[in-house]
Structure 1
């Protein structure tokens, strides 16, 4: 399996789709974090989902999916951009232990919500929020499309700690063409429902689509490469520190004489001396010095 996503559509229908497979990018995310198998699996599903949604909504900017729960798994977050860069993190609640025998999405996350943020390079930032009403991550994201995009959408997600994959089907509005196959949506969804996790994770994408839809007239477009990539920078970390406020920053300096922090996604270390923090407080709009 290579790290890539492919778009496809069925001729003479209003059905389109995306299929994604991840291996190296998924491995890099897991290498930077240490999580039990159920959490690693959900991280893979979320990585596949954020790649699918980024391509589907055609966003020229950053898309993030944040799962906030009240269970033992308190946070899952993944982010993608049009350049094919993906990153993700998971956080466990400090006051709860993971259930010994539970690997179900809802059991791990508990009550909560999913926040989907679309941050275009130009234009206004948009956030959509849906409750965790479904038993699976894919089911919750389907509810987002139903409420926000008002387009029938189905997702199939799988991950096993080594590979992650996903399939998305979407029914577009009827354009009124006489030749449009009215039953295509139900037919394509029923065929996708026969897909096993093993097939989604192990088969080459064109082979998988052929197995499912060899009786359909499908057009499969060139694949787009995906990879792990972090958007952290010294400037972004500095802006985050400024968000703590001058008083708290100076309290930290009184205790530690400097501030050391790291990116939660890629673990890059950032050091800010007392003089640099004071400069940030005094001139917050000035460029942040780069340390070589």
Structure 2
């Protein structure tokens, strides 16, 4: 067995949730003797600078989590005028059409859109003729998640699951990865049709949270939970506005009801930054 396959196989054996909880406790510690070495080692390992961060000194962060989800300086990520912009800094893993209810993951692997959205075939039906984009956030990336376009929140669903790593190696070898991992699905109404943003958990991801509900996980549950947002509770977020964050790296999968045309410069495997053009519609006045 190759070393790559051994690395993947080990993920089936380790206590994924327990390991993530333990790392989460360390990452939340405000003790200088824990947080500062942790921050400095991480920054050195991933060549992280604070040039575009609001707080420019490592000592200014109260915990590793505070450092990891650091805010950017005003104007550090200009928002393009294209229909959809990237919601994160990351790598464009895959983009394409949703075909026969399947979303392409990697060579030899696809997964069910219905499974990704938590098993609700009625909700998945909206996107059957649509498109998707998958963006992977590496540990060195900015880890706040922003809106790719203006949207009104309709529904949020927590889906329990595993916590496999979502790096390139695991993506190529674990079938249906994003539909197996723990995730939070946020449904938005936009002027371009409905859009679902799926925040996928991963190995050692200590938390997934949204700006309107705070921490969604942990605590972790054994069954899905759904929150509905009525007009009287309307949550409307502008294009480029923060909508959530990961504490440690993961992946965002977006599903679009009306298939946009993805920007040529951001093909699979290319780096992208928050606010850069991701996709456009032929008719941006469509409703």
The structure that is helix-richer by fraction is 1
Larger radius of gyration: 1
User: Normalization by structure 1: what TM-score?
Assistant: 0.26
User: Normalization by structure 2: what TM-score?
Assistant: 0.27
Higher relative contact order (CA 8 A, sep 6+): 2
